[in-house]
Amino acid sequence: MKMSMGNIARRVLGRRVLGLTVAGAALVTGGAAFAELGQPAPWQYNLQDAGSPVMENIIWFHSLLLTIITVITLFVLALLVIVMVKFNAKANPTPSKTTHHTLLEVAWTLIPVLILVAIAVPSFRLLFLELDVPKADVTIKATGKQWYWSYAYPDNGKFEFDSLMAADKQPRLLGVDNEMVVPVNKVIRVQTTGSDVIHSFAVPAFGVKIDAIPGRLNETWFKATKVGMYYGQCSELCGKDHAFMPIAVRVVNDQEFASWVETAKKKFASAPANSFASAADVAQ
Ligand SMILES: [Cu+2]
């Protein structure tokens, strides 16, 4: 053996990392060209742009994992190619009889453990960020129904309204008649439940996806950092019109939100005042 495994690995890894960095940069810039805040874009292959701090963290963590698995995959591929080229029967007719190498064995046990620990730390930090709901400025109860969503604002006048897909609205299959409206830069607590089967409340740009289960009240949160429209879809197969119960969230400034609440209170006055799922709903 002319070269130690360490030397080969170092040389190959150095070249691979350089190549990966170039490819990664091309990917990121290419992806950004397609990205559109709050909704998917044609030929999009990246995650949607972040509209909340949680989603920023998710994208960061996703990029970290993508980098780690790419480096590992290329490293293993390089080792395999080296073995095939340098140590086949023709190129290496008298193989070495070495069967153990203590340092190498400790290294290939310890290094993966360290990589896993390095992944676990930001992973748990992100999990706690997602699950630990901060003190909420606005609470909204989203009820999944076959096949539309109902939104209740128990702390803003106890009104509730239905949000149905509007076939004539853009973006196609995402536009609705009555959007969920929230103020910008405020902590929005979303409580979800289902009135018939299990649905799932998901808005990619906010990094939110949580089941809406009959007889249960789940809870998640988001803080929209930019005004605009954000779209999501029911993400639990819930029946024939599962694909046609979009979630449309309009993020507005404080005054616009206050005036919308006043309008909504009158507009949806006929809706049931009880914002929480009735016993009959839950029992179904
Ligand atoms: Cu559904």
Give the DSSP per-residue string, 67-133: HHHHHHHHHHHHHHHHHHHHSSTTT-SS-------HHHHHHHHHHHHHHHHHHHHHHHHHHHHHHSP
pLDDT (mean) for 79-106: 94
200 C-alpha to ligand 1 centroid (Å) = 6
Contact in structure between 199 and 277 (CB atoms under 8 Å): no
Both tokens assigned to 194: 């289902």
Q: For 192-225, what is each residue's pLDDT tens digit?
A: 999 999 999 999 999 999 999 999 999 999 999 9
Contact in structure between 83 and 3 (CB atoms under 8 Å): no
Number of Cβ within a 10 Å radius of residue 130: 18
Number of Cβ within a 10 Å radius of residue 263: 10
pLDDT(33) > 80: no
- How far does Cα 261 stand from its chain's mean position? 29
208 C-alpha to ligand 1 centroid (Å) = 15
262 C-alpha to ligand 1 centroid (Å) = 29
CATH number of 138-283: 2.60.40.420
Residues of the chain with CATH 2.60.40.420: 138-283
Contacts of 25-33 spanning 24+ positions with Cβ under 8 A:
none
49 C-alpha to ligand 1 centroid (Å) = 24
pLDDT (mean) for 41-68: 95
4 C-alpha to ligand 1 centroid (Å) = 58
192 C-alpha to ligand 1 centroid (Å) = 12
247 C-alpha to ligand 1 centroid (Å) = 10
106 C-alpha to ligand 1 centroid (Å) = 50
What DSSP element (H or E) covers 239? none
Number of Cβ within a 10 Å radius of residue 121: 9
Q: For 217-238, what is each residue's pLDDT tens digit?
A: 999 999 999 999 999 999 999 9
Both tokens assigned to 60: 């960061």
34 C-alpha to ligand 1 centroid (Å) = 28
Both tokens assigned to 265: 């209170």
240 C-alpha to ligand 1 centroid (Å) = 9
Number of Cβ within a 10 Å radius of residue 278: 10
218 C-alpha to ligand 1 centroid (Å) = 15
154 C-alpha to ligand 1 centroid (Å) = 22
Output the pLDDT for position 1. Answer: 36
What DSSP element (H or E) covers 282? helix 279-283
DSSP 169: S
Output the pLDDT for position 269. Answer: 84
13 C-alpha to ligand 1 centroid (Å) = 47
264 C-alpha to ligand 1 centroid (Å) = 24
State the angle between helix axes of 5-34 and 53-86 in degrees (0 to 180), rounded to the nearest 10.
140
Q: What are the φ/ψ torsions at residue 186 (nearest 5 degrees)?
A: -125, 150
What is the band of 98 on the pLDDT scale with cuts at 50, 70, 90?
Answer: confident
CATH number of 5-131: 1.10.287.90
Residues of the chain with CATH 1.10.287.90: 5-131
- Specify the amino acid at residue 74: L
pLDDT(55) > 50: yes
What is the band of 279 on the pLDDT scale with cuts at 50, 70, 90?
Answer: very low
- Specify the amino acid at residue 271: A
What is the band of 272 on the pLDDT scale with cuts at 50, 70, 90?
Answer: low
231 C-alpha to ligand 1 centroid (Å) = 15
Q: How far is CA 174 from CA 133, 164, 243, 283, in A?
A: 27, 10, 10, 30
